[in-house]
Structure 1
Amino acid sequence: MTLAALVASFAWVAGWIRLPGASPALSAARLIDAFEGASGRHPGFRRNHAKGICVSGYFDSNGNGLALSRASVFERGRTPVVGRFSAPGGNPSEDDAFTTVRSFALRFTTSDGEQWRTGMNSAPVFAVRTPEAVYEQQEAMQRDHRTGRADPARLDAFFARHPETGALRNWLANHPPSSAFYDASYYSINAFRFTNARGDTRFVRWSVVPETPYAPSAARADVAHDPDFLAHGLRTRLQKHPARWQLMLTPADPGDPVDDATRAWPPERELHRVDAGTLVITRAQAQIDGACRDINFDPVVLPTGISPSDDPLLAARSAAYAESFARRTQEQARANVR
């Protein structure tokens, strides 16, 4: 399949393309416009996850992941990674105390030149199922010019139209945000199709589980005084020793939802998860000139042995990330010309 055909197939699955006479398509540009409307326009920054910090390190594979995927990243050995910690939202000046979710993006680059890019959140489910609902959510979060805040009535109406948001809201209500980037677990949220060397295929979600025990942000005394405590805390930690997580691969059973990121799999699936190795972060850099600055963490950039599921959010994320990347890099280029 040609690259153009592949992109077109993703666009069709995600609903970006409409037949003649159908309702207008939700394009990546319209979706990113909605993010800008909700958080304001901040030239040169990502339109979502605007505030972040670059990191680098490596993944030590123990070989166990080959049972599920023939991807070379799972062969026994070490793979370098470049990543980025962040929090959702388009405001790069957001106080860390106001964030409820942590995010962790990674790019693995294997010795054969393949890449695996992934963006994970500290909550195991997503708010909504479709790109159209993401757009509606951003519209509902538009700030009133008089108060500077979103209208609670609009948000309540959105939640009423989308009861699937209850899964994430309930999870957040029972899981206070972590005190640091390095003591949170992170989840792929979407499912992906894994194929091993025998041709066996399973749908998989993955997570990275921290070596450092989780602690809620309320346990840190500096939270109330430092709006950037997440990045500062990570730098302090890495000056002493690396941060580590175990990469866990959780296969689905028949009947588990593999195209709906709002629905968690049964807890017993974790009994059969595969420990694929250790992720180690050794260094942090400011995002303005760090190694992650020019990386688009497109979740459908995948190695042989891993492919996207039919989850409509995957194609939408890919297209929206590309639009955001194009806008911010053009803005950076214009700023450098000046």
Structure 2
Amino acid sequence: METLANIESFMRSAESGSFSAAARRLGLTPAAVSRNVAMLERNLGQRLFLRSTRKLTLTEAGERFRQAVGGHLEGLQAAIAAQTTQQGEPAGVLKISMSLVFGTDYLLPLLPAFVARYPAIRPECHFENRASDLIAEGIDVAIGGGFTLTPGLVARSLAPAHCIAVTSPTVLAGRALPATPDDLAAFNGILLRSANTGRLRRWVLRNAAGEEQAAMLRESLVVNDPLAMRQAALQGLGVALITLPDALPWLASGALVRLLPDWYADLGPISLYYAGRTLLPAKTRVFVDYLAEAFRQRDYATLFNARPPAP
């Protein structure tokens, strides 16, 4: 009987056209994926791929086999995961994608209690400032906002993602505080270049009355990472628009000051994203439930809310 590992190596290689790409998704070496596929071909008595130095191409037999396996692979994986849970504790590598700032400030402090509760689960954290393709990259759970809900993807909201204007107290020395978003144009601006689009991120701020104004910061410094943006603001290089969760520790210490406390940008919710399956792998299910409960206990939904009270 053919092993699931061999079939999975074949399917991921067929999807990506590369043993190396399949290996990254499966957490294996390219050599291991190649061996698994070779064993499958030997057991079936058919060549499934035409190999070249540039890419893999399915043979007619390989295409027939791919279509025959179809969507059954994920069902088999989920069934095995569910059966494993019934026999013992959740286990396996759990791939988590998130931004570096949010991950280090909020997720990593929650992991010790999680791994103590589920010692057979091994978290693998991917820190990225972009919306990951969970299905293609083999990510179990992503934390953040702005993901496109493609078919098969589920979002579970955790807290609001509000963006606020901050700067160092040194920047404000001897200067009048801005009264409206238009006044930000008088300050040096620290802007973020989006990793997804390559464009500078611009924000429209709103207040409790529903009024909206663009925050037209002067383009004095451009960075491509939110952590660098926050650090630049701490160094007194200008005004930055960053998410409230990223700013909170520094607002509490006084190292950063919030400008325009009646104005904020709504980026949508901070959510957990994962593949929606009838039988969700136990490692993913317990992590999603654990993180949602941890956020509830800490009342992050309130703490991350920058919206001023309604007039």
Rg (Cα) greater in structure: 2
Tell me which of the two structures has the higher relative contact order, counting C-alpha pairs closer than 8 angstroms and 6 or more residues apart: 1
Superposition TM-score, scaled by structure 1 size: 0.22
Select the structure that is richer in helix.
2
